Amino acid sequence: MKSAQLEISYSVYQDSDELSESDKNLLLRAREVTKLAYAPYSKFNVAAVALLANGQIVEGTNQENASTPAGLCAERVLLSTASMLFPNIQINAMAISYDNLQGKSIAPATPCGICRQTLQEYEDRLKHPIRLILGGLEGQVFIFEKAGLLLPFAFTGTAMKKN
């Protein structure tokens, strides 16, 4: 038997004031867009805002449904919208923020499993990393240089190809 170790690198900022102007603006927009989320059940409003390679900005929020788990996460709403409005245009960066209406929003929240898989697939499909900027309404900010870092050992389409 051989032992192996996995290491994931990301940047940690104490608050959004330490970010570049572009990253800060994207995160501030995501914080603002949380107000547009439809989350009457969880009271956990999530927003994702992306800067596309063509300079366009695309936004998405979580959309809950009483028939759980029929809701949609902000990241997948954004990716679907970007894919339809701007087919084959790469996403350079995506800021994700949240407003926990029942508590504090002071630490970064990472995407759920299905969103991680969807982000990985989007990166693979367009052959371009998506830089993630994660933060609550205040506090620390995490930056991952590519979304795929959140899903080590990802299941991808290459596993289903014929040999």
Query: Which residues are the active-site residues?
Result: 75
Strand partners, 63: 38, 72
Q: Which DSSP category does 63 fall into?
A: B
Given the structure tokens 């960066």, which residue do they identify?
93
Q: Report strand pairing: 141-144 vs 44-52.
A: unpaired
For residue 64, what are the contacts with CB-CB under 8 A and spacing of at least 6?
Answer: 38, 39, 40, 41, 42, 71
Strand ranges (E), 53-130: 57-61, 91-100
